Copies of this chain bind each other. A is one copy, B any other.
């Protein structure tokens, strides 16, 4: 556990947002001006393997990271690209029953138009 890694964890824990590696890097720079971008990517990958964070592949743009707690899905606005959590109760159980084997994890991304963007389109 290096200072760099501790800082990255702290940043992840300090926000409910789904930050990109670069956003995390930018925040980290504020507190540790010569932390390297590579270090951030490396640690995020390790933390993903350790299941400390989950990497979210996005339909557009860079991956984002989620401080993992309970399994959940995401609502993705096709217009403004905002991302919000959705609890999907019982989905894992359902899936395991359907698949007949252990589910290691899942990623559910639901595309929609968020209220603000729907409003705009209506006008």
Contacts and interface: CB of A to CB of B under 8 A. Distances in A.
A104 interface: yes
Contact of A107 (B75, B105, B109, B112): B109
Contacts of A112: 99, 101-104
Interface residues of A, number: 26
Given A57-B57, A86-B99, A99-B86, A108 B107 contact: yes
SS class, residues of chain A in contact with chain B: mixed
A109 B104 CA distance: 11
A104 B118 contact: no
A110 interface: yes
Contacts of A111: 103-107
A92 to B, nearest CB: 9
Interface of A: 55, 57-59, 75, 78, 86, 88, 95, 98-99, 101-113, 115, 118
